[in-house]
């Protein structure tokens, strides 16, 4: 079974960077440039295979806050990591209360990202013990 990570960020450079950082891990990367496109990607994937969503906060169209709310509503099992360019304590608290599993501030080092993705993926509610992805 595949382990896919969906990256939603409007900047191509960021999507490329995360793709680079996840290279050589068990994760395959899916990309979307805004929340709306992210939803479209999920609608066309076997969502059992999407183990984590990494979502930027500031994006055109559906922003991070709206996108996270939508994913919770419609894809409740998939853990979400929020990625932001600017630390905002209140926003972080709101996100964590809203069920986001992690809140990372750019720039994020590779080891830290891989660890965060691994940790998040293990919270995927659709995994039973034996299927949990290992790094």
- Give the range of 14-22, 67-75, 94-102, 124-132 binding another protein by CB under 8 A: 14-22
Of 29 and 42, nearer to another protein (C-beta) is 29
Distance in Å, CB of 71 to another protein, minimum: 21
At how many degrees (to 10) do helices 64-74 and 89-97 cross? 10
Position among 5, 18, 50, 101 found at the interface with another protein (CB under 8 A): 18
Query: Is 60 one of the binding residues for another protein (CB under 8 A)?
Result: yes
Task: Note whether 61 binds another protein by CB under 8 A.
Answer: no
Site string for another protein, 70-89 (x = CB under 8 A): --------------xxxxx-
Q: Does 10 bind another protein (CB under 8 A)?
A: yes
Give least dist CB 42 to another protein, A: 24
Burial of 106 (0-12, 13-18, 19+ CB in 10 A): middle
Find the part of the chain contacting another protein (CB under 8 A) among 11-19, 66-74, 92-100, 121-129.
Answer: 11-19
């Amino acid at each position: 079974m595949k382990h896919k990570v969906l990256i939603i960020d409007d900047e191509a450079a960021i999507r490329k960077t995360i793709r680079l950082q996840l290279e050589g891990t068990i994760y395959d990367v899916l990309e979307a440039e805004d929340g709306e496109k992210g939803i479209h990607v999920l609608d066309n994937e076997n969502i059992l295979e999407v183990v984590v969503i990494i979502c930027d906060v500031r994006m055109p169209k559906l922003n991070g806050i709206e996108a996270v709310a939508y994913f919770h509503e419609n894809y409740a099992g998939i853990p979400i990591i929020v990625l932001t360019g600017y630390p905002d304590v209140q926003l972080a608290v709101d996100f964590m209360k809203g069920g986001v599993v992690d809140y990372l501030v750019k720039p994020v080092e590779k080891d830290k990202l891989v660890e965060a993705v691994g940790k998040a993926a293990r919270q995927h509610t659709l995994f039973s013990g034996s299927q949990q992805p290992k790094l």
